[in-house]
Structure 1
Amino acid sequence: MILCSGESLIDMVPQPDGTLRPLPGGAVYNTAVALGRLGAPTAYLWPISRDGFGEALLGPLAKAGVDTARCPRTDRLTTLAVVSLAGGDARYSFYDEGSAGRMFADADLPALPPGLAALFIGGISLVPDPCGATIETLAARAAQAGVPVMLDPNIRPFFVGDENAYRARLDRLFGLASIVKLSGDDLDWLWPGDSAEGAARRLMARGVRLVLTTSGAQGAAAHTAALRLAAPAMRVQVADTIGAGDTFNAGMLDALHRAGALGRLDRLDEPALSAALAHAARAAALTVSRPGADPPWAHELA
């Protein structure tokens, strides 16, 4: 089983007539849904509100076969993200104070599921407390238990209140992670002027075994101690980029899990890594070809 822990929220997505359409979203939530749709055994851990939006979030998870039994239920409100689109690229404004997810606490953490294949974390859930500290505690427990942790910080600079504290948390999480995915924007914020190869060397020096870098239309690359592979982006008619990186993460985890590679990241060979990159790129391409975070089902990639 792959456990995803991090934010779920409602994206208020602009429509052609100027109205806002509420759609389930959140970086880690999207990855959980995408993993479930791809057929990977997936569980989700994040507080879910008892409000109407909370029920709307549970529906796609259930339809995708994602286990939500570990999600605490609360009367606090669901986080909202108002989306603006510019040239197909999504930008967000968050309404999160005192929300269901924001108040995620260590006391809400269950025991790690038996036979856990990987833990996926990331997104804005890493920024504020108490939820950021809770996710860090969960990652530390997983790493100590020998469970590979995949981290996608998906950095939103405008959401970061205390930059020094956030950088310190990311640095600690890099030391716990086995897989790190960074976008071009993430790289620019973390280490301005450094190359993807330079960032990969930094992270592998901390013990990260697989570094993934994405560059939108320029494609993606995978870096290990022995390999550097690139995959071009698939050409599609872009509706918007909502959920693209989240689906890429799911595609990578799905392919590595199916190949039995999550437990042997130190010994990843070129065929397995190349196949995983291609699978992730295809899944992401399908997501950007349709509006909102709407990741593909397994049969659409067959």
Structure 2
Amino acid sequence: MILCAGESLIDMVPADGTFRPLAGGAVYNTAIALGRLGQRTGYLWPISRDPFGDQILRPLAEAGVNTDLCPRTDRLTTLALVTLTNGEARYSFYDEGSAGRMLHADDIGPLPETVTALFAGGISLVPDPCGATIEGLIAQHHDRLPVMIDPNIRPFFITDAGAYRARLARLLPMADIVKLSADDLEWLYPDLSPEDAARAVLQTGPRLVLQTGGEAGAKAIWAGETVHAPAVRTTVADTIGAGDTFNAGVLASLDRQGLLSKDAIAAITPDQIRAALTLGAQAAAVTVSRPGANPPWAHEVPT
């Protein structure tokens, strides 16, 4: 089971002059996408007992995602006010004292033996106590479990850039796979080209650094020659959840190829990497073709 640990929230999405509440969050979207793609998936994040908490739980259940590790709380659900500019999403967060923000280490029980990999990232890595809790979870288990991290950096959400850079400097070396957009790489290494920045991340310890670039497709920076996969052409409704779905496609492909172990990732081949990037791109193309974070089901992507 791939365990996705990180934020869920309600996206308030523009709709005919008002806002429509939709369940979202980077790590939540990845968990939903993995479940819809047919992979055994678990989710770990506090879920509020407010009505929005129930709205968050329904898609997880429909996708077959295990939520046994999710603590329930009376704290309120995080809200993200979404604005769209030429299809690109921008967010304003209402998060202080929220259900997820207040995640502590003692809220997390022992991980079951069925967990075979960890995925984490998003804004859940930024504030404390939740950021420290996710960091601690990864530190506790990365020696045994393969870890994928997508920091999905939102500069406007980061109040202490130095502290967050220090956290990423501790976290990224513990990951086997790191996914970064061109914007993420520019924030991390503003003086380097995207590929040089990705190689700088690779040198800290990950086996694979995946770089996404929208219409430019995706590439994997690793010990061998760079592997490319083109973007899938489609009519874009918006980009909400695109990167999150890409992550799910990559993990689903690795899982199907029997590569979700530390030894297997260490011995991965270019063709195996390309297959993972391709499924990621195919899944993301479905998500961007329809409004909101609405990842594909298994029958909607090539097998």
The one-letter amino acid paired with 2:278 is: A
Task: Check whether the contact 1:112–1:142 (CA below 8 A) recurs between aligned residues.
Answer: no
Q: Partner residue of 1:155?
A: 153
> What amino acid maps onto 1:28 in structure 2?
V
The aligned residue for residue 295 of structure 1 is 295
Q: Secondary structure at the match of 1:175?
A: helix
Q: Distance in 2 between matches of 1:295 and 1:284?
A: 7
The Cα shift of 1:266 comes to 1.3
Cα deviation, residue 116, structure 1: 2.3
Alignment of 1:208-247 (within 5 A): 208-247=206-245
2:258 to 232, 236, 260: 260
Counterpart CA distance in 2 for 1:149 and 1:56 is 28
Q: Runs of 5+ in structure 1 lacking a partner?
A: none
| Equivalent residue, structure 2, for 1:164 | 162
**1:142-191 Cα shifts (integer Å, max 9, x gaps):** 113x2011000000001001111010001100121110000011011110
* Per-residue deviation, residues 207-251 of structure 1 (Å, max 9, x unmatched): 100110001111110121113111111111100000000000000
Q: Deviations over 1:97-135 (max 9, x none)?
A: 000000000111111220422100000000100000000
Matched ranges for 1:181-200 at <5 A: 181-200=179-198
What letter matches 1:31 in structure 2?
T
User: Which residue pairs with 1:6 in the alignment?
Assistant: 6
Contact 1:4 1:42 (C-alpha < 8 Å) held by counterparts: yes
How many residue pairs match? The answer is 300
Matches within 5 A, 1:1-302: 1-15=1-15, 17-144=16-143, 146-263=144-261, 264-302=264-302
Identity of aligned residues (%): 65
Cα distance in 2, alignment partners of residues 175 and 297 from structure 1: 32
CA deviation string 1:46-76 (max 9, x = no partner): 0000000000000000000000011000000
What CA deviation, in whole Å up to 9, does each residue of 1:9-68 have, x standing for no partner? 0000001x2110000000000000000000010000000000000000000000000000
| Whole-Å separation in 1 of the counterparts to 2:225 and 2:269 | 8
CA distance in 1, matches of 2:178, 2:39: 20
Deviates more, 1:225-234 or 1:291-300: 225-234
Instruction: Supply the distance in 2 between the matched residues of 1:58 and 1:84 (Cα, whole angstroms).
Output: 24
Give a deviation string over 1:261-282, Cα, whole Å, max 9, x none: 1221111112211111111000
Aligned counterparts of 1:166 and 1:141: Cα–Cα separation in 2: 20
Q: What runs of 5+ residues in structure 2 fail to find an aligned partner?
A: none
Is the 8 Å Cα contact of residues 117 and 257 (structure 1) preserved in structure 2?
no
> RMSD value over aligned CA atoms?
0.9
Report the Cα distance in structure 1 between the residues aligned to 2:225 and 2:107, rounded to whole angstroms: 39
TM-score by length of 1: 0.98
Check whether the contact 2:185–2:198 (CA below 8 A) recurs between aligned residues: no
TM-score, normalization by structure 2: 0.97
Cα pair 2:186 2:194 within 8 Å, conserved: no
Q: Provide the C-alpha distance between the structure 2 equivalents of 1:245 and 1:52, rounded to a whole number of angstroms.
A: 27
**SS of structure 2 residue aligned to 1:262:** coil
The letter for the 2-side match of 1:91 is: R
For 1:127 and 1:135, locate their aligned partners in 2 and report how far apart those are by CA, in whole Å: 10
